[in-house]
Amino acid sequence: MKKTGLIQLYTGDGKGKTTAAIGLAIRASGQGKKVAFLQFLKSGDFNSGEEKVLKKLKNIRFIKFNEQSPVFNKKLNLKYLKNKSEKNIEQAIKIINSGKYDIVILDEITHHFKFKTIKINEFFNKIKKRPDCVEIVITGRWILKELINKADLVTEMKNIKHPFDKGIFARKGIEY
């Protein structure tokens, strides 16, 4: 049966995916909705701007999973990542199925789909019995066809021009 809560996907190589997810969390919390914001594959202990603000808002539960991405650590053993992140993915599934949140944001979870720490089909099977009205927001750079098929709303963020190409790197308060 079709759910009333949609699956939104923000994908592609352009800037704006995580920031759009933050915006959605803010908008929803402003309208009294309960939000779970889960950030995957965020290793290191630096605090992003969004973390500082979102953690303080009463309708938002913010969880950062301290995993490394194979994209940034080429030597990372995928089996090790899989073991390390299994419980995080299980926690995400539990949160989606709990019915405690109107919106669950899975920021950068597509790393896991891409590197098959969990298969897309397996993940969606595990959230099949979620409450009808839960809205799910997924972000991540790779454009995965199987994921597009699962989603109701898909925006591709396309990089048209990016200053990184000119050697300008991530700036505090802008990129994190």
CA distance linking residue 126 with residue 135, whole number of Å: 16
Strand, coil or helix: what is 15? Answer: coil
Tokens of 28: 């929803």
CA distances, 47 to each of 3, 15, 42, 44, 175 (Å): 35, 19, 10, 9, 12
Residue 59 DSSP label: T
Q: In angstroms, what is the minimal distance from the CB of 78 to a copy of itself?
A: 28
* Residue 139 contacts residue 113 (beta carbons within 8 Å): no
Contact by Cβ (8 Å): 113, 144: yes
Interface with a copy of itself (CB under 8 A), residue from 87, 94, 119, 158:
158
Q: Per rule CB under 8 A, is residue 49 in the interface with a copy of itself?
A: yes
Residue whose CB is less far from a copy of itself, 31 or 128: 31
Considering beta carbons, is residue 122 or 152 the nearer one to a copy of itself? 152
Query: Which one among 72, 87, 132, 174 touches a copy of itself, defined by CB under 8 A?
Result: 174
Which strand (E) or helix (H) includes residue 136?
A: strand 135-140
99 near a copy of itself, rule: CB under 8 A:
no
Choose the binding region for a copy of itself from 11-19, 75-83, 113-121, 123-131 (rule: CB under 8 A).
11-19
Q: Is 104 in the site for a copy of itself (CB under 8 A)?
A: no
Least CB distance from residue 45 to a copy of itself, whole Å?
Answer: 16
Are 58 and 34 in contact by the 8 Å Cβ rule? The answer is no
Q: Footprint of a copy of itself on this chain (CB under 8 A)?
A: 6, 8, 10, 12, 14-24, 26-33, 48-54, 57, 102-103, 135, 148, 151-163, 168, 172-174, 176
